[in-house]
Structure 1
Amino acid sequence: MGKVKVMSYTISLDGFGAGSEQSLEKPMGLGAENLHDWLRQTKRFAQMIGQEGGSTGVDHDFAEKGFENLGAWIMGRNMFGPIRGDWPDGDWKGWWGPNPPYHVPVFVLTHHEREPLVMEGGTTFYFVTEGIESALTQAKEVANGKDIRIGGGAETIRQFLQGGHIDELHLAVSPLFLGSGEHLFAGIDLPALGYRQVQRVEGEHATHILITKG
């Protein structure tokens, strides 16, 4: 049986997963341009965007693990794009170009209906308006026993934590402060939810925290 995981989710030293005022020009929000520097320098990231090079090491290894044994993704609408409200048209197809790095079905949480979006490389975006339980049920149906990865934003992860659905969390802590934005653990009591086992691994450009129930 596959697990439901948060992998390679980056937060600042003060716990924010994105800055305030996210937009097309500043997708990570104000002051968060360097939040994912640890990932951008890895060989795994270079491969994701079709380039050569990139570093190997601890950061790369964690980024690589985030794509192992995956059968489906679930993400919030903010991670899919900057558009809010009704979909004005079908022009926006995500941040990643015609061949997104997922290569499995991706379920996007939204309040506004949209037809499935078939992309190159095996990625199809399905837009789920019935909430996290419906998205998780659909993801399990297509994952065929493999893991399901929960992507951002922070509110999406909080919902799955509060629902008791997440088996493992891997957080990459970047050495910067944001001061405001989307705080990952706002309103979350991890011990009350059963999360007690913590492992810390130092990477080249981030500290990796592994959290599981126990």
Structure 2
Amino acid sequence: MNEVIVATKNAGKAKEFVQMFEPHGIVVKTLIDYPELPDVEETGETFAENALLKAESAARLTGRPAIADDSGLVIDALGGRPGVYSARYAGLDKDDKANNRKVLDEMTGLPDEKRSARFTCVLAVAFPDRQEPVIVEGSCEGRIAHEEQGTNGFGYDPLFIPDGFEVTMAQLNAGEKNAISHRAAALQKLRAVLPELAGEPK
């Protein structure tokens, strides 16, 4: 495997994958390099199903191994919501402010001990041949703040206080966030199987 497709148009995500794969001599391309590829409808009911849908589509259409992620916020008091609907929780448009407002409204009055939550990230690697896909999952445990705090990050970062911290993800710097994030945890697990993915012995 000397080239891999990362099924994203998000430059930030792509950069993380480049940093992981380049030391192994693997070239990373993204959907930005393949503008003709159609968007994949995320019809799965789990993060894993959606990640696999995107990875398998990219692998099939490009003839290259492909990696995709699906991630979101899981809140215990809301029965696991927003979950796979995290990006569009407040409506079809991806509106971070509206999503955060909806979460806060639904959790009004709940004490800290009932505000447990986690960010979850699932990475799926699919291959153009019949090789079995690889799926790994990472998470970051924490709780939901009572109001938005911080301007770093995006999405639900201003609401999420990671375990061991008294500030939100949006109040951490990039290095601090990347050290504990759900995507970092999933990438770490993927890194563990990289030799196998690259066709080298473990």
Same fold (TM over 0.5): no
> Higher helix proportion, which one?
2
TM-score range (shorter-chain normalised) is: under 0.3
> Higher strand proportion, which one?
1
More RCO (CA 8 Å, sep 6+): 1
The TM-score normalised by the length of structure 1 is: 0.27
The TM-score normalised by the length of structure 2 is: 0.28
User: Which structure has the greater CA radius of gyration?
Assistant: 2
